Amino acid sequence: MTRTLLLALALLFPAPLLADASEATVAGEAVDTSRRADEHSHAEPDRVRVRHLHLDLAVDFEERRLAGFVDLHLDWQDPRYRRLHLDTRELEVERVVGRNGDGPWRRLRHTIEPHDPVFGSRMVVRMSRQYDLVRVHYRTSPGASGLQWLEPSMTAGREHPFLFSQSQAIHARSWVPLQDTPSVRFTYSARIRTPAELMALMSADNDPQARRTGDYRFVMPQPIPAYLMAIAVGDVVFEPISARAGVWAEPSVVQAAVEEFIDTERMIEVTEALYGPYRWERYDLLILPPSFPYGGMENPRLSFITPTVIVGDRSLTALIAHELAHSWSGNLVTNASAKDFWLNEGFTRYVENRIVEAVYGTERAAMIRVIGKNRVRGVMQGMDEEEQRLVRAPLPGQDPDDALSAVAYDKGAWFLYFLEERVGREALDGFLRGYFDHFAFQSISSDDFIAYFRQHLMAAHPEAISEDELQEWLYGSGIPDSAPVTRSERFDAVDAARSAWLSSEQAARELDSGEWSTQEWIHFLEGLPRELEPNQLIELDEAFGLTGTANGELAERWYPLTVRSGYFEARPALAAFLRKNGRRKLIMPSYQALAQSEEGRAFARQVFEEARPGYHPITIASVEAVLAGPESAD
């Protein structure tokens, strides 16, 4: 059976066929086709699993490397097996040894297969007997895709360098040789040595009272998948928000961050009331430099947060609600592979919105829901049918970074809004609480969720949801007709104001926009035509000062509009925005708009070369892909 045929079968029969299949043969090699199989990892968790991992690493800013060893404590599933397959990417492996108990270390043979640009290299450790502990001595590459090394000039303080990781989706393998799949969970410990003047942090038990010594030790007692292992080193200090939550940030940033995110403890309490206790002990935030490629990363105990959401009015703190929600959805209950990513982000988006509603009110929650629903409808217009499904077919050969979209986030959440409408909020909350409890600290597939769903929600409400509706939501393309509609009265007023301005009934300065929130401005901008006349852009700019805005959410939407409309007056501010920010969500729309013309591509390439040193490797790869094309003619 060819890989092409496997994919075709997956598309034609997404649920019943592949749910029961367990193994096929591709090019003479056995391939697991169950939904629990992870086609983005070389690991063989059915034969051997890493149960605990210990790191001993030195941080070298001059060489831009981590160097030391990792101890992999193994649980053998197959008593006859004698190999360990690990995921690596551009690691320099010096030697591998193994031992049992307190016995002597034995040198083990290892090979590293040729490099694949997406998956890195499979590392195979061969042994004559099964060892409980395997130690790998290695160094990372200066260009490791999961690490960003910042010069002092790229930080807020401009005095000390900064290092941070981004392991999701499959970048942990670029800084640790391990089983880099969400289907394997492990506890970990670490010893990290740094320059004495810097603080080291990990997604582990960071001590708010820790002193800078240059030698730090960590323990993560709860089992996590590899993509949640994280490290950061820099000139950061701590300020508390509550007894169990606080902010780590550079000294010049920390107070503004605490004020912006002061509602964090209230968010934790709200989520606990809805879905059960917070099981990770502390919940702290690390504010990273602007080069961080994402809005946030839900590393357990220490969410990494972009500074672009510190805008002074707490209007973008839904991001904190989102990363916190991952403590239940994603971190506690994890998708076993990228094809079931909706189990992570769709549930998290729903929980996020419930937190926002409880803390900030129903109207803000409604506005955020409408923005998400508009986003996913827009995104789907450029997708094929397979990409629009929640339960995806296997994704062999595809970079999981490229497979993530608003479908997993917003269509996934929309499915839960649909369930809420059909069975009632109280029943859905009870179901979700039970779901989080039942699968706590496990990695599951869509099949696991569906079985639990049928037993615990559908069976209790047999008339509420039809089988056809369930199949359409999970395996169908587009948004089902059964999708609930969300309205926002404040957005209705924004729609009226936009229509009045576009029809010349009112000038921009006459619009009643003085009390508009960030969400209302987003809705206003997203509802404008794809292109405007230059005089219209000038009018908007003179009235509202959108060019040069400090709000990244507005800049993300304003600058592409100026590019498409030929509003060259915004180019200097656009260039400054692209040089300052490395968050992919905010800058990629502008690069994509510029890439539509030779003139724009030439401008984008010039800006990119200036901005490149401050971009994360993930961001660099994304921009390079967009700007790839013929050079502009002289």
Cα–Cα distance measured from residue 443 to residue 449, given in angstroms and rounded to the nearest whole number: 11
Q: Is 585 within any annotated ligand binding site?
A: yes
Task: Give the strand order in the sheet containing 237-240.
Answer: 237-240, 245-249, 283-287, 302-305, 296-297
Q: Is 322 within any annotated ligand binding site?
A: yes
Active site residue 591: no
User: Helices 412-423 and 467-475: crossing angle, nearest 10°?
Assistant: 160
Q: Is 405 within any annotated ligand binding site?
A: no
Cα–Cα distance measured from residue 511 to residue 498, given in angstroms and rounded to the nearest whole number: 8
Cα–Cα distance measured from residue 452 to residue 454, given in angstroms and rounded to the nearest whole number: 6
Q: Is 298 within any annotated ligand binding site?
A: yes
Q: Which residues pair with 246 in a beta bridge?
A: 240, 284
Token pair 């070298």 in the structure block, residue: 60
User: Helices 425-438 and 264-275: crossing angle, nearest 10°?
Assistant: 90
Q: Is 584 within any annotated ligand binding site?
A: yes
CA 185 → CA 389, 491, 515, 517, distances in Å? 27, 43, 47, 41
For β-strands 283-287 and 245-249, DSSP reports them as: parallel
User: Helices 446-453 and 425-438: crossing angle, nearest 10°?
Assistant: 130
**Which residue among the candidates 216, 275, 360, 409 is catalytic per the annotation?**
409
How many other C-beta atoms can be found within 10 angstroms of the C-beta atom of residue 22?
12
Close Cβ partners of 545 (under 8 Å, ≥ 6 residues apart): none
Residue 605 host element (H or E):
helix 598-611
Contact in structure between 193 and 58 (CB atoms under 8 Å): yes
**Which residue among the candidates 323, 352, 357, 556 is catalytic per the annotation?**
323
Active site residue 409: yes
Specify the DSSP class assigned to residue 582. Answer: -
Give long-range contacts, CB 8 A cutoff, 24+ apart: 268-271. 268/242, 268/244, 268/324, 270/354, 270/355, 270/358, 270/359, 271/324, 271/325, 271/327, 271/328, 271/351, 271/354, 271/355
Q: Is 583 within any annotated ligand binding site?
A: yes
Q: Is 209 within any annotated ligand binding site?
A: no
Phi then psi for residue 73, to 5 deg, are -90, 125
Token pair 């582990």 in the structure block, residue: 204
CA 565 → CA 538, 570, 591, distances in Å? 11, 11, 15
Q: Is 296 within any annotated ligand binding site?
A: yes
Q: Which residues pair with 247 in a beta bridge?
A: 239, 285
Cα–Cα distance measured from residue 91 to residue 518, given in angstroms and rounded to the nearest whole number: 43
Q: Is 234 within any annotated ligand binding site?
A: no
Phi-psi region of 277 (alpha: psi -120 to 50; beta: other; left: phi over 0): beta
Contact in structure between 343 and 449 (CB atoms under 8 Å): yes
Task: Give the dihedral of Cα atoms 290, 293, 297, 303; nearest 10 deg.
Answer: -20
Q: Is 222 within any annotated ligand binding site?
A: no
Among 619, 401, 614, CA closest to 627:
619
CA 608 → CA 604, 605, 613, distances in Å? 6, 5, 9
Among 194, 199, 193, 291, CA closest to 236:
199
Cα–Cα distance measured from residue 320 to residue 264, given in angstroms and rounded to the nearest whole number: 7
HSE toward the beta carbon, residue 216, CA cutoff 13 A:
30
Q: Is 167 within any annotated ligand binding site?
A: yes
- Binding site, annotated residues for Zn(2+): 322, 326, 345
- Binding site, annotated residues for a peptide: 166-168, 293-298, 583-585
- Binding site, annotated residues: 166-168, 293-298, 322, 326, 345, 583-585
Residues acting as catalytic residues: 323, 409
